[in-house]
Amino acid sequence: MEVIPLSLYAGSLFLIVTAVAPVLLRTENNKNIAGGFYGKILWRFYGIAFLLLVVYLILGGRWWGVLLLAGLSVNVIISMWLKSYKRTLGNIENHDYSSPQRTLFRRVSYLSTFFLLTNFMLSTIILFKEVQ
């Protein structure tokens, strides 16, 4: 039974990492709007993901659930920092692509996506172990 919330979590991570992030974060025009939209998607995902992982943990996810919750928490912390930093920057398009502020923002965004990908791979490995 604990496989259902874990599979929903892994599937939603797969969708965010392979479809949503590449499409929205690689847009050339209106980066500010695309980034804001991506941020809203992520914050809604975090609420659902935490709920799924808590259900997984309650249903018998053992320490795997704690590990996945910790990984998701790292993403939330990175996203909180990005949101705060974005407020100080204002419109990202007002900064030159190679400016230090925009470069830092871009690198931390990539770091966030990397952690989402890592969480996806980890949750998929755990899911395969749970099914067997």
Digit-coded pLDDT (tens) for 95-111? 888 889 989 988 998 89
pLDDT of the residue at 8? 94
How many residues are there in the chain?
Answer: 132
In whole angstroms, what is the distance from residue 109 CA to residue 114 CA? Answer: 9
Domain boundaries, the chain: 3-131
User: At a CB cut-off of 8 Å and minimum separation 6, what does 114 contact?
Assistant: none
Mean of the per-residue pLDDT values of the chain: 89
Closest CA to 32 of 110, 94, 92, 120: 92
Average pLDDT over residues 24-38: 79
H helix and E strand count, the chain? 5, 0
Q: What does pTM read for this prediction?
A: 0.86
Closest CA to 1 of 125, 132, 131: 131
pLDDT in tens, 67-98: 999 999 999 999 999 999 988 988 888 888 88
